[in-house]
Amino acid sequence: MKKLLARIGAIGAAVVIVLGVVGYTQILGFTTSERVKDNVHLVYNTSGFSRIGANVIAIDAGEAWVVFDTHLGPLAKGAFKKIKSIKDMPVRYAFNSHWHPDHSGGNAAFTDEAEIVSHENVRSILADVHEGFGLTSPGSYREYKAIAREALPETVISGQSTFFVGALQLDAVHYPSAHTNGDLVLFVDQLKIVAIGDLVWPAGFPFVDVHSGGSANGVREALLSIMARTDDQYLFIMGHGDPFTAGQLREYLSMVEKTIAYVEKHKAAGRTLEEVQAKGLPEKWRIWETKLNPQEEWIRMIYETL
Ligand SMILES: [Zn+2]
Ligand SMILES: [Zn+2]
């Protein structure tokens, strides 16, 4: 009997461990990497079904890594290790595309080697208590604590700045008032890639963090400018999901332009936000709705920032 109980206990413990690992995997996933273009790797966490946190873009500059976005705090060490396992060389720069915690929360894991670079607004937001997306329901916001001083960006950009690592030239460009008020986009023309952070939400309408000074028109302007600066050979790498080709980005931009024009027309005709929301977007645009960003939310983001 004792033996049987011990065996049941052992099985129970094994079940708990398995469930624990499954639960842990669902929360944090496992870190993986994929090469999206020569010298360019995407590092992210996946549960096998969905991705957790944001993409870390790792660019092999020959003698050192350049990293774009540092992941969520608890996942950053894993991303750092994964990058080192692809090629063991130092990380020279780690850029923050904007302040959101899935893009800057992992800065501390990179500071031993890398210089953290962001737009100046990112540093000032992170240095103090700040508000941001709650991500629990559409339109929810919550308060975030200031991050440790050591993890704050040590180099800040106001407009545009160029960096050189190995043979690569990296152009970091700020687009004002788009996803937030501190968006940086990184152009690497020699590799024909653009790291564009959250200016594009690949499976849905763009997110505009109105509390952080973002605007729908700013997203439109930024995408127009990015398209004008690049050609059909470029790959556009977002903070979430898989990269876009130029054709996909064009299609996305068209949706952004036309939905903004639609809301603008109704606002100019004197309709209230509630009236435009009740009317809704034409059917063809509704394929871009997501749970956290339904059309009413996208209409609100446009209406409030026109
Ligand atoms: Zn974001
Ligand atoms: Zn994000």
- Do residues 94 and 117 lie in contact, with contact meaning Cβ atoms separated by under 8 Å? yes
Task: Classify residue 23: in a domain, yes or no.
Answer: no
- Dist. CA 92 → ligand 2 center (Å): 23
For residue 49, the model assigns a pLDDT of 83
Task: Classify residue 24: in a domain, yes or no.
Answer: no
The domain that holds 120 is classified in CATH as 3.60.15.10
CA distances from 140 to 9, 121, 132, 258 (A): 44, 22, 8, 26
For residue 18, the model assigns a pLDDT of 45
Q: Which ligand is nearest to the CA of 100?
A: 1
Task: Classify residue 130: in a domain, yes or no.
Answer: yes
Task: Classify residue 15: in a domain, yes or no.
Answer: no
Task: Classify residue 99: in a domain, yes or no.
Answer: yes
CA distances from 80 to 91, 92, 114 (A): 9, 12, 11
- Dist. CA 18 → ligand 2 center (Å): 30
- Do residues 227 and 253 lie in contact, with contact meaning Cβ atoms separated by under 8 Å? yes
CA distances from 6 to 2, 12, 13, 16, 49 (A): 6, 10, 10, 15, 36
Q: Which ligand is nearest to the CA of 70?
A: 2
Indicate the number of domains in the chain.
1
Ligand 1 being an ion, which residues bring their Cβ within 5 A of it? 100, 198
294 φ, ψ (degrees, to nearest 5) = -70, 170
CA distances from 244 to 16, 49, 90, 239 (A): 41, 20, 28, 11
The rounded distance, in Å, linking the Cα atoms of 298 and 295 is 5
Task: Classify residue 110: in a domain, yes or no.
Answer: yes
Average pLDDT, the chain: 92
Task: Classify residue 147: in a domain, yes or no.
Answer: yes
Q: Which ligand is nearest to the CA of 103?
A: 2
- Dist. CA 163 → ligand 2 center (Å): 24
Handedness of CA 304, 207, 234, 93 (dihedral sign): positive
- Dist. CA 48 → ligand 1 center (Å): 23
- Dist. CA 154 → ligand 2 center (Å): 21
- Dist. CA 213 → ligand 1 center (Å): 12
109, containing H or E segment: none
Q: Which ligand is nearest to the CA of 44?
A: 2
Q: Which ligand is nearest to the CA of 179?
A: 1
Task: Classify residue 13: in a domain, yes or no.
Answer: no
Boundaries of domain holding 114? 29-305
Determine whether 45 is exposed, middle or buried from the number of CB atoms within 10 Å of its CB (0-12, 13-18, 19+). Answer: buried
Mean pLDDT per 10-residue run, the chain (306 residues)? Answer: 51 47 63 96 92 95 98 95 98 98 97 98 97 85 93 97 97 98 98 98 94 96 98 98 98 98 98 98 95 95 96
Q: Which ligand is nearest to the CA of 69?
A: 2
